[in-house]
Chain A
């Protein structure tokens, strides 16, 4: 068993680390406070190739493996989970979905600009009445012959306003239940689309999250991904891959918090010595470190399985579930270790704690992950 990384993987990790520690760190606190979109940073991420890492070079992507993607996501999330969620949605939901299931015409037209980062993608599945239960979509995509007529509302859409390309999951045949759902590629500028106000979120405030409303939006038939009725399966398969990205994000949030807590503990003095020399703190750090290491191994295993073209859906669920849960635990302890300083924005850890919470909720809640894991465990 080889636990070593290749030279390229290490270079990718270092590039992501340098970008995060030099560029993103400069204004991350301010952008979070003001809920300001990281326009310039997204441009730099596109130039550096972070937005189309996994896509085949044939479609203008980086052709990197999932392990490299996990390493990069971790490094960026240590500093800025808003930038890493923008990166994750673009890479592992939108680009992956198009590359794996789209046809060449769709890939040529839509995947290439997304892989280059010239356009940002958004994945529209959640609705006001349908989050975890995606089996029935309230957004309709009526089959009108050579186009679909889309009506409905999507909620909690990351990159909702800044995306140029939407992947929209909608119901075409209500009587067929989840087998009557389709995924449509929709141009953001289509007539009939309106975007709600920017959600005022607890964390990841620098990424834009909106409702998106469709009123009689016409989408050409050729923009449907796969066969008629493939949409639900498409969503589930795509989310499996997206899960790895979010798991790596949660990992990065946790490991960033751990690094800061270790640093603080070595500097802060109390009762005659640095607090790292008190077992109460040292033991907390040990527990945090083991959790982070476990999360990292789960993420890398899921990534490795995907790279080997082996089934990875359950492994990615293990990774996402565990990484999100420990991210909440580790960031909470990091704030605790910082004491009063952990409660103010300047010291970053309070932001990491707010960011960790969302990883337990989106792209499959922890409870959904438990369903996936237990079903797999208990099947005959």
Chain B
């Protein structure tokens, strides 16, 4: 589970534009991870799986977001204590932690809404040596058999899978994120949140600089039946011809 800034955050950079300015940011569960969690809980409610745990790699501030996941219904939360610089570090730290864990299904959101590198899920599977399936938009369990739905060019693929495996999930995995119940919110602190130390892992990339995109320009629509008007605008106003 990735801890990301709320989608309405005004993004700013600091330290000579080398890092995100975290001041005043509201943190949320990465939307794709939230959908993955929702699907996992639906399966648990249906009795198809026995327990759901969420894992995050991050500093102490991510614990509030982990508690949100517990409030929504996860049974346990883990935080691998590290400030990471790239997706490889995250994947490697998770892979090392995973060695001592028993699980059947691992769900990873396709990307995180902050860095959008779409890398961690697949890297984790490769580093941990477990089979993985990408572009998963549906997961069901019928008679003990896991059925995956995959988006491919021009259609959909249906796969059978058996654990342990990792599915990189995208929109469609659940219709809408689950809203935590009042009982869930009030009991979140009673559920286990375990912090584990991180093995030393070096990042493989470093961000040189961040910059904001240019402010959106305006768009003028020109009737295709009026090419003269288009040429006039390009010549007199945009001055490109």
Q: Which residues of A contact B (CB under 8 A)?
A: 7-8, 11-12, 15, 18-19, 22, 47-50, 53, 57, 62-64
Contact = CB atoms under 8 A, between A and B. Distances in A.
Nearest to A48: B181
Contact of B182 (A12, A18, A22): A12
A62 B181 CA distance: 9
Given A7-B67, A11-B68, A22-B176, A63 B181 contact: no
Top 5 A-B pairs, shortest CB-CB distance: A49-B182, A62-B182, A11-B185, A48-B181, A49-B181
A11 B69 CA distance: 11
B182 A64 contact: yes
Give the size range of B's interface with the partner.
10 to 19
Contact of B185 (A15, A19, A47, A57): A15
B186 A63 contact: yes
Given A7-B64, A62-B186, A48 B179 contact: yes
A12 to B, nearest CB: 6
A48 B180 CA distance: 7
A53 B176 contact: no
Overall SS of chain B's interface: helix
18 contacts: A7-B64, A7-B67, A11-B71, A11-B180, A11-B185, A12-B182, A15-B180, A15-B181, A15-B182, A18-B179, A48-B182, A50-B182, A53-B182, A62-B183, A62-B186, A63-B186, A64-B182, A64-B186
A18 B176 CA distance: 11
Contacts of A12: 182, 185
Contact of A8 (B176, B179, B181, B185): B185
Contacts of A63: 186
B182 to A, nearest CB: 3
Interface string B67-99: 110010000000000000000000000000000
Nearest to B180: A15
A18 B182 CA distance: 13
B186 A47 contact: no
Contacts of B183: 49, 62
A47 B188 CA distance: 17
A108 to B, nearest CB: 19
Contacts of B180: 11, 15
B59 to A, nearest CB: 17
Nearest to A17: B179
A64 B181 CA distance: 12
Nearest to A18: B179
Contacts of B68: 11
A71 B188 CA distance: 19
Residue of B67, B71, B179 with highest tally of chain A CB at under 10 A: B179
Residue of A22, A48, A57 with highest tally of chain B CB at under 10 A: A48
A170 B186 CA distance: 38
A64 B180 CA distance: 14
Given A7-B64, A7-B67, A15 B186 contact: no
B64 A15 contact: no
Contacts of B186: 8, 57, 62-64
Contacts of A15: 179-182, 185
Given A7-B67, A11-B71, A19 B182 contact: no
A57 B190 CA distance: 15
Contacts of A11: 67-68, 71, 180, 185, 188
Given A11-B67, A50-B182, A63-B186, 11 more contacts: A7-B64, A7-B67, A15-B179, A15-B182, A18-B179, A22-B176, A48-B179, A48-B181, A49-B181, A57-B186, A64-B186
Contacts of A53: 182
A49 B180 CA distance: 10
A15 B182 CA distance: 8
A63 B185 CA distance: 11
Contacts of A18: 177, 179
Contacts of A49: 181-183
Residue of A8, A47, A64 with highest tally of chain B CB at under 10 A: A8
Interface string B166-189: 000000000011011111011010
A255 to B, nearest CB: 17
A310 B135 CA distance: 56
Residue of B64, B180, B181, B183 with highest tally of chain A CB at under 10 A: B183
A339 B193 CA distance: 52
A64 B71 CA distance: 14
Interface in B35-75: 64, 67-68, 71
A20 to B, nearest CB: 10
Contacts of B182: 12, 15, 48-50, 53, 62, 64
B184 to A, nearest CB: 8
A7 B67 CA distance: 9
A272 B34 CA distance: 43
Contacts of A19: 179
Residue of A8, A15, A19 with highest tally of chain B CB at under 10 A: A15
Nearest to A44: B179
A41 to B, nearest CB: 12
A154 B176 CA distance: 42
Given A8-B186, A64-B186, A47 B71 contact: no
